[in-house]
Amino acid sequence: MTAVLAVAAVGCYLLGSIPTSYLVVKAVTGADLRTLGSGNLGATNLYRVLGWKFAVPVGMFDTVKGAVPVAVIGPWAGTGLVGALLFGVLAVIGHVFPVFMRFKGGKGVATAAGVVLGLAPGAFAASLAVWGLVLTLSGYVSLASIVAAVVLPGATWLLQPTRRGMVLWFAALAVAIIWLHRANIARLLHGTELRFGRHTTTAPRETP
């Protein structure tokens, strides 16, 4: 059993570590996404560089990276709900700190969304709706992601009573997402954050 859990844990981290955006840009243009746009290895930066036709499928794949650990690998390994959640967290960690990219990846929002989708689809749908609304009204992906993360614990409590045991875990996830967006928050406060829909290869660079 211990060996199964170890294999599953490593597998989840490696799945999360797949640098989807980087691989797509490298295959299409031969360039390194880390030198383009904000330098972030996420679907939003990919959108700035190559457009929605590439960003949408990549974002969906990054979401799957979070859903598979909780919906497939967790049950295969025989873990409970919390164990499956921890496998999902490992995938998010892999996306943010990918071993294949010297531990510098994306913000983990899409992969975290996949974790929530696998555990609490109703709360996921509510947070996604909030994300879309804030993005439409403000034009900022970062702000939409932060607000959706903040809404998630409450949406879970209200819409999925059987998943109320996940609320504190989702709250911790929301805190992590806010922390990962601290540079974006600073740019939002200073009015220098790039709005969604604007294609560029010279977006404000991410800071460590």
What would the pLDDT profile of 7-41 be if each residue is shown by its tens digit? 999 999 999 999 999 999 999 999 999 999 888 89
Q: Are residues 52 and 137 in the same domain?
A: no
- Return mean pLDDT, the chain: 91
Q: Of all residues in the chain, what percent carry a pLDDT higher than 70?
A: 94
For residue 206, being part of any structural domain is answered with no
* pTM score over 0.85: yes
In the chain, alpha helices (H): 2-17, 20-29, 43-50, 52-68, 74-77, 81-96, 109-119, 121-138, 141-159, 167-180, 182-190
pLDDT of residue 208: 41
**Four-residue CA torsion sign, 50, 147, 181, 165:** negative
Query: Helix, strand, or coil here: 1?
Result: coil
Q: Are residues 78 and 17 in the same domain?
A: yes
For residue 205, being part of any structural domain is answered with no
Q: Of all residues in the chain, what percent carry a pLDDT higher than 90?
A: 79
Q: Are residues 34 and 92 in the same domain?
A: yes
For residue 69, being part of any structural domain is answered with yes
pLDDT of residue 37: 83
Q: Are residues 11 and 78 in the same domain?
A: yes
Choose one of 53, 74, 104: the last residue of a domain: 104
Residue 136: give the domain boundaries. 120-200
Q: Are residues 129 and 52 in the same domain?
A: no
For residue 112, being part of any structural domain is answered with no
- The two tokens of residue 53 are 């036709």
96 CB neighbour count, 10 Å cutoff = 23
Q: How many domains does the chain have?
A: 2
**Mean local confidence (pLDDT), 32-57:** 90
- The two tokens of residue 94 are 């892999």
Going by pLDDT thresholds of 50, 70 and 90, the confidence category of residue 207 is very low
For residue 111, being part of any structural domain is answered with no
Q: Are residues 169 and 86 in the same domain?
A: no
pLDDT in tens, 140-195: 999 999 999 999 999 999 999 999 999 999 999 999 999 999 999 999 999 988 88
Q: Are residues 191 and 163 in the same domain?
A: yes
Q: Are residues 99 and 189 in the same domain?
A: no
Q: Are residues 138 and 87 in the same domain?
A: no
